Amino acid sequence: MLTRKQHELLVFIDRHLKTSGFSPSFEEMKEALQLKSKSGVHRLISALEERGFLRRRRHRARALEVLRLPAETAQRSSLALRAEGRGEAGGFQPNVIRGDFTGRLPGVRAAGEAGAVQIPLYGRIAAGLPIEALRDSGTQVEVPLAMLSSGEHYALEVAGDSMVEAGILDGDTAVIRKAETAENGQIVVALVDEAEVTLKRLRRRGQSIALEPANPRYEVRLLPAERVKVQGRLVALLRRY
């Protein structure tokens, strides 16, 4: 028998893994469960490990694996998936992009019938210290349709380790939806002083903008708002093993 908080955390991790492909950060888990500190998250995860519901993969950033769900939760998930497959009223309706994508998503061309499209790869972006982004529109990367929404998308290769606690590792391919605005807490491609480009979490602080890393070895950059321009929001990650 799990406590309410243990059950809530397990379900949250399971949903995050299924929707994003990687486990949530301790900060995200703390906020989702409305806990006062990350130590509470550590205790819940340890308890779920001891009960055989969760496993931590050592030496990997944010590597959590859900081994099983409580019987009643697993049954509800199974019923919801079957209802979704039948398209029943009241069931979950996925937001899936369908049809001919040629010309629908600017900068995107269809990639056969494999349920994927190709988007331009614009070089490397620093997840550590900012670097000037390389723009090579001749290179393409294939992305599953489920990772994309409406709008224009492009990809950047991540360089550096400042976002490891957000599950973003050196060598990952970041899928970016072009945008000029972002909400507090979103991970964005930020253009600094019209020259430097970096991938960081954005926070507004009065008339300033904080570009926050997800690695305690790096410092937050606090800049006047006029020096920072949002060029896109992170929507997905691709990783090769």
Q: 23, 25, 30, 200: which one is catalytic? A: 200
pLDDT tens-digit profile of 134-149? 555 568 888 888 888 7
Residue 126, beta-bridge partner list:
159, 198
Residues 177 and 75 in one domain: no
Classify residue 206: in a domain, yes or no.
Answer: yes
Classify residue 25: in a domain, yes or no.
Answer: yes
Residues 42 and 125 in one domain: no
CA distance 215 to 127: 10
Q: What percentage of residues in the chain have a pLDDT greater than 90?
A: 30
Classify residue 144: in a domain, yes or no.
Answer: no
Residues 73 and 124 in one domain: no
In terms of residue numbers, what domain contains 188?
A: 119-133+154-238
Q: Alpha helices of the chain — where are they, by DSSP H?
A: 4-20, 26-33, 38-50, 71-86
Model-level pTM greater than 0.85? no
Q: 23, 25, 30, 162: which one is catalytic? A: 162
Residue 162 falls in the annotated catalytic set? yes
Classify residue 101: in a domain, yes or no.
Answer: no
What is the average per-residue pLDDT within 108-123? 67
Number of domains the chain contains: 2
In this structure, is the dihedral angle defined by the CA atoms of residues 32, 34, 39 and 45, taken in order, positive or negative? Answer: negative
CA distance 142 to 211: 29
What is the average per-residue pLDDT within 39-48? 87
Q: Give the number of C-alpha atoms closer than 13 A to the C-alpha of residue 203, restricted to the C-beta side.
A: 9
Residue 137 falls in the annotated catalytic set? no
Classify residue 114: in a domain, yes or no.
Answer: no
Residues 74 and 171 in one domain: no
What CATH number is given to the structural domain containing 27?
A: 1.10.10.10
